[in-house]
Chains A and B, each alone.
Chain A
Amino acid sequence: MLKSSKEIFEILSKGGFISSNSVLAANRAYFDLIEDDFDAYLEYYGGVGFVLECGDGYYYFSRAEAKVNVVDKLSRFCDWIDRLDFLKTFNAAFASGFVFSKAKILERLSCDMELKDKASKLYSDKKTHSDVVDKLVDDLVKIGFVELENDIENSYKVTAAFHYLEEMVNCLNVVEGAQSEIPE
């Protein structure tokens, strides 16, 4: 019987990530467990139809066969491109290990026209900036890209799983000639 296989499954099967630099000691422990015995976990979860995938400091689940059609996948990915772009515009250093708070984002929002414009397009059903930021941080927490580090200061820390998103974007190949279209 593999250790903590139930807890790990519960996080990963909901589309979450387990990171090496997680704030929660439990998550870090899960990461170490998987790291020590990756093949065993891979085989174990393979038995219930999940493929345990390993990235640079994080683990997540994928499947051998598609359960969702390409259009849906594309739209979900595009949502994350918007969010990633927003976060990088907020702070270019937004990456694994970065610490931020909702208040900091709101502060930048109030004085940055570009950011304001991007925020309004993030969630169509959210009108105020604080609603948008709440929802955004909520989404980030749910998937495991950021974690609440300090509940007094309300600061969040970006986990290693954020690499995943960057890698996803980075691995896209741009058709030749298309690059020149972008205005400076």
Chain B
Amino acid sequence: MNNFRSIDELILALSREKTLLKEMFAKRKTLSFRSDFAEQLVDFKLDRIRYLVDYGVIRDNGNFLELEDVYLKFFEEVLEVNEEINVESVKSNIDHLNETIEYYLQETDEGQKYGYLREVRRSLKNVALNTKRNVIDLKRNVDNTYKNEPNYKIKKSKLKHLDEKRDGIKLQIREAERVLDEQTTFFAMAMDSDLRIVVDDVRADLNESSHNLIEIEKQIIEYLNLIDYQSQILKKIRLIKYFRDQQVLETNTDIKNRIQNMNPVWMEPNSGYRIKVSLNFLRNADEGLAILREVRERKALKGVGKKKLAEPLTVDDLSVDSALQQMVDQTEMKNSFAASSSDLFRFVMNYKYPYDIDLEGKLVLFCEIASQFYDELDFTDRYEDAFGYEYPLIYPR
């Protein structure tokens, strides 16, 4: 296997095959990435794949290709998409930090000392960065596991393992804080403004991380409880169903008592609320009329069968009966009144009627004519008395 001799060479190689690498990285979760598919991505130039295999970027497994672990890890870590929580990296950082501090304290040469100091700053930053990233990864993993893992048993043990990881991270944070607290000689000797900023940042980051960890712990406990609750429910359902199948539900549980005391509506048979139509609505609204018509039409369609017959008419029903009612033609009276010279009251009293009319009838006629032909009569202001009534003098116009 060959090695890249310089950064230039490495970056050039990676950028030349970026389509292939991108695709392979995107499909790292699926198990198989077929060689023939890879060939399409390098324009069927097999040399290019061979070159990557020779330089240990990808691995050739017969028909399938895989990204080498080194590169896979590198991509995942740089892009912050790694799912693995690496507690060891923090631990090795802390070890390295301790070692460098030791060298610094023993070194006498100023130039070397400065080099160690720089190394200490770098390690401190690494500790903070890795811890933070671990916490973020942990949080994401916990959520993912709870939401996406379909198998209850695996889900539960995964969450438990994540909880152990959380303990590990917590331990590392405490360890790092202890280094900051206990290496007083070093920090007293070497403290300059740069280191002060770094130390403060690291302390703040560690503090934030440990706060987040408490939150994550709560979350994990909640998830585990939910899982337990679900599996407990599942067991209970199985048990109850078993009792039901064995017809011993009522004897083995308190179901009767429970049910006696609750009356949810869904246990009632579907009851339609029958409400009568408002008569007012049918009579007065256009919609009501439309409904009536529709109902009539439906009824008419149904009633094609036998029709009800009325009783036959009797001889009496067929005989002609006539009734006579006598009336006075008021218009004719008015016309003849117009030709006369007397006043209306006198005219009405003396008119020659075709039948007998009593005084009251005549008074009614007087009033009727006076009101009906008001426009054609001349009403005077004078009044006279007759038969105990006072009447106005009305003349034709």
Residues of A in contact, count (CB < 8 Å): 45
A73 within 8 A of B: yes
Asked if A63 meets B265 with Cβ closer than 8 Å, knowing A93-B230, A182-B239, the reply is yes
A60 to chain B, nearest CB (A): 6
Residues of chain A with a CB closer than 8 A to B262's CB: 62
Compute how far the CA of A143 lies from the CA of B270 in the bound complex, rounded to whole angstroms.
11
1/0 per position for B173-207, CB-CB distance to A under 8 A?
Answer: 00000000000000000000000000000000000
B145 to chain A, nearest CB (A): 14
Compute how far the CA of A76 lies from the CA of B273 in the bound complex, rounded to whole angstroms.
21
A135 to chain B, nearest CB (A): 15
Residues of chain B with a CB closer than 8 A to A16's CB: 266
Contact segment of B33-41, B164-172, B252-260: B252-260
Compute how far the CA of A45 lies from the CA of B90 in the bound complex, rounded to whole angstroms.
62
Select from chain B the residue with minimum beta-carbon distance to A53: B264
A137 within 8 A of B: no
B265 A74 Cβ-Cβ under 8 A: no
B250 A74 Cβ-Cβ under 8 A: yes
Residues of chain B with a CB closer than 8 A to A3's CB: none
Compute how far the CA of A45 lies from the CA of B253 in the bound complex, rounded to whole angstroms.
33
Select from chain A the residue with minimum beta-carbon distance to B252: A178
B303 within 8 A of A: no
Compute how far the CA of A16 lies from the CA of B150 in the bound complex, rounded to whole angstroms.
30
B251 A65 Cβ-Cβ under 8 A: no
Residues of chain A with a CB closer than 8 A to B263's CB: 62-68
Compute how far the CA of A125 lies from the CA of B253 in the bound complex, rounded to whole angstroms.
29
A140 to chain B, nearest CB (A): 12
Residues of chain B with a CB closer than 8 A to A40's CB: none
Residues of chain B with a CB closer than 8 A to A2's CB: none
B376 to chain A, nearest CB (A): 63
Chain B contact surface mostly: helix
Contacting residue for A88 out of B237, B268, B269, CB 8 A: B237
B290 within 8 A of A: no
B161 within 8 A of A: no
A166 within 8 A of B: yes
Select from chain A the residue with minimum beta-carbon distance to B262: A62
Residues of chain B with a CB closer than 8 A to A60's CB: 264-266
Compute how far the CA of A179 lies from the CA of B242 in the bound complex, rounded to whole angstroms.
10
A173 B265 Cβ-Cβ under 8 A: no
Q: Which residues of A contact B (CB under 8 A)?
A: 12-17, 50, 53, 60-68, 70, 72-74, 76-78, 81-82, 84-85, 88, 92-93, 95, 143, 166, 169-175, 178-179, 181-182
Return 29 A-B CB contacts under 8 Å, by A number: A12-B265, A14-B265, A15-B267, A50-B265, A53-B264, A60-B266, A61-B265, A63-B264, A63-B265, A68-B268, A68-B269, A72-B267, A78-B244, A81-B241, A82-B244, A84-B241, A85-B237, A88-B237, A88-B238, A92-B152, A92-B230, A92-B231, A92-B234, A95-B230, A174-B253, A175-B252, A178-B243, A182-B239, A182-B242
Task: Give the 9 A-B CB pairs with smallest separation, nearest first.
Answer: A15-B266, A178-B252, A85-B241, A61-B265, A63-B263, A62-B264, A15-B265, A172-B253, A73-B267
Q: Which residues of B contact A (CB under 8 A)?
A: 150, 152, 230-234, 236-244, 246, 248-256, 258-260, 262-270, 273
* Known contacts A170-B236, A173-B254, then 16 further A-B pairs from the complex at CB < 8 Å, ordered by chain A residue: A12-B265, A14-B270, A15-B268, A50-B265, A66-B263, A70-B256, A72-B269, A74-B256, A77-B255, A92-B230, A92-B234, A169-B240, A172-B258, A173-B253, A178-B252, A179-B239
